[in-house]
Chain A
Amino acid sequence: DAGVTQSPTHLIKTRGQQVTLRCSPKSGHDTVSWYQQALGQGPQFIFQYYEEEERQRGNFPDRFSGHQFPNYSSELNVNALLLGDSALYLCASSFPGQVDYGYTFGSGTRLTVV
């Protein structure tokens, strides 16, 4: 049973560019959340998608946007990249009916902005 799959694993972009990161949730999961983890810090919630809609959003600017597809996979888009956007971007999937908030995290995409 595949867990959460993220692509690419590493990415280098130039300031001002745009980037798209991809996530396939764990089999049976239909909710996808995105987190940003800067070096040496805990993950920070960006947003969550359920039924192809953004259900909740953390404290991130509009440069960060996302999408969820009918097969539950998701994309995270970041426009006008800043050096401070360099981080590990984590995708987590879950199933709303679970009692135990069982997030499953992917291994992340390491984004470096130069």
Chain B
Amino acid sequence: GESVGLHLPTLSVQEGDNSIINCAYSNSASDYFIWYKQESGKGPQFIIDIRSNMDKRQGQRVTVLLNKTVKHLSLQIAATQPGDSAVYFCAENIGGSARQLTFGSGTQLTVLP
């Protein structure tokens, strides 16, 4: 039969507040992680990345934290803005030259006025 799409986890935050989006990754051998933002009707857009030899990396208004012990990633967005409303995916890569990314299921972030 026809497959049914999964219901995405959702996060609603007030404009100006900080957002934290979590992701559990699957493979302990993964050595590179990326957060992507996907707006409706568009492809994923790179936000920030982190390698497995780091536990924190900061960008403009965004911070990624990596906890390899529990295979957990988080994306923190400071001073969330309406333009941040989108689906956020984490992706992992096991290394090598082929760059086959494994994506998580995504989180729908809604910024409330």
Whether A39 sits at the interface, judged by CB under 8 Å, is yes
Which chain A residue lies CB-closest to B99?
A: A101
Chain A residues closer than 8 Å to B46, beta-carbon distance:
102-104
Interface string of B71-98 (1 = CB under 8 A from A): 0000000000000000001010100011
Binds B, one of A42-50, A64-72, A73-81: A42-50
Binds A, one of B5-13, B14-22, B61-69: B5-13
Chain B residues closer than 8 Å to A31, beta-carbon distance:
99
Main SS of the interface on chain B?
A: loop
Interface string of A29-47 (1 = CB under 8 A from B): 0010101001111111100
Whether B105 sits at the interface, judged by CB under 8 Å, is yes
Chain B residues closer than 8 Å to A58, beta-carbon distance:
100
Question: B100's contact among A41, A56, A83, A107, by CB below 8 Å, is which?
Answer: A56
| With known contacts A102-B46, A107-B42, A45–B102 Cβ distance under 8 A | yes
Interface size class of A (residues with CB under 8 A): 20 to 34
Question: A40's contact among B8, B34, B91, B97, by CB below 8 Å, is which?
Answer: B8
- Give A residues with C-beta under 8 Å from B: 4, 31, 33, 35, 38-45, 48, 55-56, 58, 83-84, 86, 90, 92, 94, 96, 100-108
Top 7 A-B pairs ranked by shortest CB distance?
Answer: A40-B5, A42-B103, A105-B43, A39-B5, A56-B98, A83-B2, A40-B6
List 6 interface pairs A-B (beta carbons < 8 Å), by A numbering: A40-B106, A41-B5, A48-B100, A55-B98, A94-B99, A107-B43
